[in-house]
Amino acid sequence: SCRIGMSLITGELYIMPRIKQRIIFLSISLLAGSTPLYAAEHEHEEHAAHVHGEAELLVALEGSTLEIEFLSPAMNILGFEHQPANEVQSLAIESAIETLKQPGLLFRLPSAAKCDPVSIKVESSLAKQGEQDHEENTHSDFTGHYSFRCSDMSRLDSIAIEIFKQFPGTEIIDVQSISKQRQQKIELTPDRNT
């Protein structure tokens, strides 16, 4: 079943599948135990989330579903973060989006877990050339949401992150993972990417 909600960012109404509701509620309950940390992070959320060289990865496991959310400044992905100034930059944006739509290039999951992608959504304000932002100091991000269905979740014991290979401008990925068994927060680098 689904629930109707409202985006805090855009103010738009949307329908949220129950799995996402559970992930959000689980995230909120986990954050409730660390309110001072969350408040400090939330206050600087925009700046902290947009540090060149750094990206974020949120991983949630429930039942047979694996959800991964990736957020990165465009600078890590493209080497620039403004609207494309020429055809080369336009093609770079298209190429980045196509790469981000291929989870097999970004995440190496254990084959024994038998995880298949069921939903992929990639967004960037740079892909919307008609809605060019006229502010000089605009920060642009790429966001990818990946949903997998895993036949044997008990075999999903690790995820190798190949984003560093695909986008060398990414130096650090802050990962937060949540499951019924545990929560984890780790920092990955090209040398330590699992």
pLDDT, tens digit, for every residue of 127-176? Answer: 865 444 444 446 689 999 999 999 999 999 999 999 999 999 999 999 99
Res. 49 pLDDT band, cuts 50 70 90: very low
At 169, phi and psi to the nearest 5?
-70, -10
Q: Return the percentage of the chain with pLDDT > 90, whole number.
A: 62
What pLDDT sits at residue 90?
93
What pLDDT sits at residue 127?
80
The rounded mean pLDDT for the chain is 78
Give the strand pairing for 183-188 and 13-17: unpaired
Q: Residue 123 corresponds to which tokens in the numbers above?
A: 């967004």
In this predicted model, which residue has the larger pLDDT, 51 or 111? 111
Residues 6+ apart with CB under 8 A from 59: 66, 67, 68, 69, 159, 175, 176, 177, 178
What pLDDT sits at residue 30?
40
Mean pLDDT for the stretch of residues 98-121: 97
